[in-house]
A and B are shown apart, each in its own frame.
Chain A
Amino acid sequence: MSVDAKESRLVDDEMLLRRRRHRKIDGGIEGLNLTAMMDIMTIILVFLIKQYESAPDNITLTDDLMPPKSSTPDELEPAVTLTLSQGAVLLDGIKVFGLVNHQPETADGWGALGKALSVRRDQLKMIEKASGKPFDGALRVIADENTPYDTVSQVLLQAGREQFTKFKLILQAGGSK
């Protein structure tokens, strides 16, 4: 490399450095500023987390448990949850017994559900004594849309006998009148 070329290279580098310094002094953009994008992302993330948080309890819907659609406007409230899928009856997520053709597979029949509900009621009454939180007899019933009315009716009957009398049917939003 000739001396002229070296000098010209040095001059170029110096100019480049000057330009960079000049830009910094002017507050010009130096590369992509990610801070603003991070702010936007954080706001979106917080919004989505809050939205997810306000979603109802985790009720996993499957082909076996698809509640009917309804136009009811009421929001979900916490209560003891009784799930009536095509294959089983669950109380607060714990299987009470299986169903075969929508009928109990156990020898006790629907009475087994009554026993499970009475145990749960006694637990809630103990909590009532200990903490003062009153037992209000609220029961959320989640049933598959194709469940025969006889089965739903039996569940309500057993629950009513065990002092669960405030029924709330859990339904999918979006039904038409």
Chain B
Amino acid sequence: MAGGGGGTEDLNLVPYLDIMVNLIMFMVTVTAYIVQLKQAPIIAPTYGSGGGGGDQKPFLTVAIGTTQMQILGGSSGGNGAGGAETIKKGDWAKLNSRLKQLKDTVPNLADNLVVSADRAVPYKEVIKAMDAVRLDVSGQPLFPNVTLATVVNK
């Protein structure tokens, strides 16, 4: 059937090859522009009535202001994590090392850490703070569970 009355010829692969080359070029270009996305799970503050007021593990809050950050301690037992410490905003390494110190020294410290921020603080700075508290410098989990505090309009 190939040709007008001529004998049977081999399949002409050249057009197929052209299509393949174009497809591969397209796929390579498209995949180069795909941005790899990841997800960071966060814990939302719970709603509803409180529990029985039992002992709560001491926990830390990282508050991000417009010019500085603070590590705030909180506990029902007041066993060492209380107080506040100010760190220059953007000094994520110092925040990380200070949290590591606190985790090593304060007994029974909760794995959960609360991140709070001023209304005007850009979202990317909150994410940087979350990255800074997730792992220590050796790659070990520091505070893997982050609760984002919400701002309630009055």
Taking beta carbons and an 8 Å cutoff, which residues of A are in contact with B? Answer: 34-35, 37-38, 41-42, 44-45, 48-49, 51-52, 55-56, 59, 61, 67-77, 140, 143-150, 152-154, 156-157, 159-161, 165-177
Contacts and interface: CB of A to CB of B under 8 A. Distances in A.
Nearest to A57: B37
Nearest to B13: A34
B150 A156 contact: yes
Interface of B: 13-14, 16-17, 20-21, 23-24, 27-28, 30-31, 34-47, 64, 92, 96, 117-124, 126-128, 130-132, 134-135, 148-153
B44 A160 contact: yes
B140 to A, nearest CB: 12
Contact of B123 (A55, A149, A157): A149
A167 B24 contact: no
Contacts of B42: 167-169
Contacts of A56: 36-37
A51 B16 CA distance: 22
A70 B123 contact: no
B122 A148 contact: yes
A158 B31 CA distance: 36
B39 A149 contact: no
A51 B27 CA distance: 10
B39 A74 contact: yes
Contact of A145 (B13, B123, B132): B123
Contact of B37 (A59, A73, A148): A59
A52 B38 contact: no
A48 B134 contact: no
A167 B13 contact: no
Nearest to A157: B150
Given A68-B123, A167-B42, A171-B39, A41 B128 contact: no
Contacts of B149: 153
Contacts of A150: 119-120, 151
A38 B20 CA distance: 8
A8 B118 CA distance: 97
B30 to A, nearest CB: 7
B38 A177 contact: no
Contact of A72 (B39, B43, B150): B39
Nearest to A148: B120
A45 B23 contact: yes
B45 A160 contact: yes
B131 A70 contact: yes
A38 B45 CA distance: 57
Contacts of A59: 37
Given A41-B24, A52-B30, A160-B150, A169 B119 contact: no
A149 B44 contact: no
Contacts of A49: 27
Given A156-B150, A157-B152, A76 B120 contact: no
Contacts of B153: 154
A176 B124 CA distance: 12
